[in-house]
Amino acid sequence: MRWEYLVIENMMDSDELGKLGADGWELVAVVSPGHFVLHYFFKRAL
Domain that holds residue 10: 3-45
pLDDT at res. 36: 82
pLDDT on residue 46: 94
Q: Quick check: helix, strand or coil at residue 13? A: coil
pLDDT digits (tens, 9 = 90+) for 11-38: 999 999 999 999 999 999 999 988 888 9
Give Dmax (Cα) for the chain. Answer: 36
5 falls in which pLDDT band (50, 70, 90)?
very high
Phi then psi for 13, rounded to 5 degrees?
-100, 175
Q: What global pTM score does this model have?
A: 0.87
SS (H, E, C) 20-33: HHHCCCEEEEEEEE
The pLDDT, as a whole number, for residue 16 is: 97
